[in-house]
Amino acid sequence: SSGEDREASYDGLRLRALTKSFATFTAVDDLDLDVPRGSFFALLGPSGCGKTTTLRMVAGLETPTSGSIVLAGDDITATKPYQRPVNTVFQSYALFPHLDIFENVAFGLRRRKQKNVESEVKEMLDLVELGPQARKRPAQLSGGQQQRVALARALINKPEVLLLDEPLGALDLKLRRSMQIELKRIQTEVGLTFIHVTHDQEEAMTMADTVAVMNKGVIEQMGAPADLYENPRSTFVANFLGQSNLVEGAVVGRSGDVVTMDMHGIAVSVPAGRSHTTSERGWIGIRPEKVLIGAPGEALDAPGNTIPGGVVTDVSFFGVSTQYLVRMPWGQELQVFQQNTGRVTIFRTGDRVELSWRPEYAFLLDHAQDAS
């Protein structure tokens, strides 16, 4: 059938109805996911959401309860781990301590009795910029260098898919930043599919071209980092990908693509995600950096939504930015990140202020969920 043809012609990784239950607990729940070939894909979610279990099923280290794993048209659901064109880099690098760096990377090739071991290992060590360290033992390298050895050892097998399970988790912040850039460079250079599991939203957003946000065993939303950030479809995604102010409101009317909401007695315009019924309740979401703060009555350059009656309750000056907490007339405190470019007024605790934002910067979320 044409459906099967389409199935067979997809050259990426395709998970269908993938489920893993441990006794009565379902860790991965009927998961459908397409990972395009050659993409840097991040599986992002809080601890316990099922990311590692998903990755382990792709690697063959965990047997699915049901569902299928298809890689470049081949169903590998029942294939033995070592026969899958998949390699994993773990947080614990699992290097051989008694072998030097060169032999650690060469290990897979020697075991398969491959030719050109010398030149292939050299090429791989150059890729991860460890050529000069070839004759050292793992213990003589830094954490970041050991991580790169683990990467080289996985990449030398030329897998179709490289799985990275919190690979930078053991590194300190500064080293993690430089390894993020390094990993992106290597992925671009080798052009393989990378699937990176992390609970760190910043890491996922800075590295991946596509991010799937996972929660309680299911994918809540998937897309390019900026798209997820600007257009979250649930309060979970909105909150997981950075700070957001969520204010309750009710639909008053609609004109074109814009919904007018009654937000605690103030009319605000919000882009309409779908059709809404009058008096339906929802969450109006606005990121702190999209909110402008001004003195009462000050004409701020954001046409649209102006919210009077705020009182500053906290000020944190960061140099490049100032972060405020502002108590609104209905009692809620909103976050405001002001970029200190050009001449800006620094408000103080107790100052009366008004907030404003452009309607198109806000997003509207369904009310039928927890705003945590």
Summarize as ranges the residues that interact with ligand ATP (CB under 6 A): 22, 25, 27, 45, 47-53, 199
CB closer to ligand ATP, 47 vs 83? 47
Nearer to ligand ATP, 13 or 141 (CB): 13
* Least Å from the CB of residue 7 to ligand ATP: 26
Amino acid identity of residue 82, one-letter, is Y
Q: Is 181 left (phi over 0), alpha (psi -120 to 50) or beta?
A: alpha
Among left, alpha and beta (phi > 0; psi -120 to 50; other), residue 350 is left
DSSP conformational letter for 207: H
What SS3 class is residue 226?
Answer: helix
Name the region of 364 (left: φ>0; alpha: ψ -120 to 50; beta: rest). Answer: beta
Closest CA to 215 of 202, 229, 234: 234
What is the nearest approach in angstroms of ligand ATP to the Cβ of residue 47?
A: 3
Q: Which residue, 53 or 210, has its beta carbon nearer to ligand ATP?
A: 53
Taking the complex as a whole, the smallest distance from the CB of residue 204 to ligand ATP amounts, in Å, to 13
Q: Shortest gap between Cβ of 162 and ligand ATP (angstroms)?
A: 17
What SS3 state is found at 289? Answer: helix
DSSP structure string for 227-260: HHHHS-SSHHHHHHTS--EEEEEEEEEEETTEEE
Taking the least distance from each CB to ligand ATP, the nearer of 53 and 235 is: 53
**99 vs 149: CA distance, rounded Å:** 12
Q: Which is nearer to ligand ATP, 144 or 169 (CB)?
A: 169
CA–CA gap between residue 366 and residue 349 (Å, rounded): 33
CB of 49 to ligand ATP, least distance (A): 4
Closest-CA residue to 35 (of 189, 194, 174): 194
Closer to ligand ATP by Cβ: residue 21 or 323: 21
| Residue whose C-beta lies closest to ligand ATP | 52
Least Å distance between CB 144 and ligand ATP? Answer: 21
Contact 328, 307 (CB under 8 A): yes
